[in-house]
Structure 1
């Protein structure tokens, strides 16, 4: 048994650790320098994500057709670049 001094130490440690973590990690400057760049690496930018999800069947088909057209366009551009490189 540790006695009252040990209990006071444990209680102060239980209070100090969460408060110190909140003070350190809750700083807006720390958030901007450490979290925001990592978030940008993990998640795509908002302009690249679909903000309005279609709910009806025709809207879904239109969105799928748009995505397919974008992929075909990117593929055609990539093949054209590869053809240029192979010609040189």
Structure 2
């Protein structure tokens, strides 16, 4: 079989790989350069997310009403845009 030199090599490899990964990927500059832009693409911005979740029934109803009005406004804008596009044709 391999002998003691192989065991020393394997042991040093088992130690070196995780430590090298921690040093490389744990660098704050690497995180800012590679992870933060991807995170911004993947998740919505903080102003578009709900920071305070309603806990009582009236708060939930108010939030649902707000979402419904936003959705209706978007639908009305989209329908007006489609009607304008059809009028141009």
TM-score norm. by structure 2 comes to 0.92
2:55 is the counterpart of 1:46:
no
**Gaps (5+ residues) in structure 1?**
none
Counterparts of 2:83 and 2:28, CA distance in 1: 50
RMSD: 0.9
**Gaps (5+ residues) in structure 2?**
none
Counterparts of 2:28 and 2:62, CA distance in 1: 42
Counterparts of 1:40 and 1:47, CA distance in 2: 12
* Partner in structure 2 of residue 24 of structure 1: 24
Count matched residues.
88
Alpha-carbon shift at residue 21 of structure 1 (Å): 0.4
After superposition, where does 1:1-88 map in structure 2 within 5 Å? 1-88=1-88
Which structure 1 residue ranges, 4+ long, deviate > 4 Å from structure 2?
none
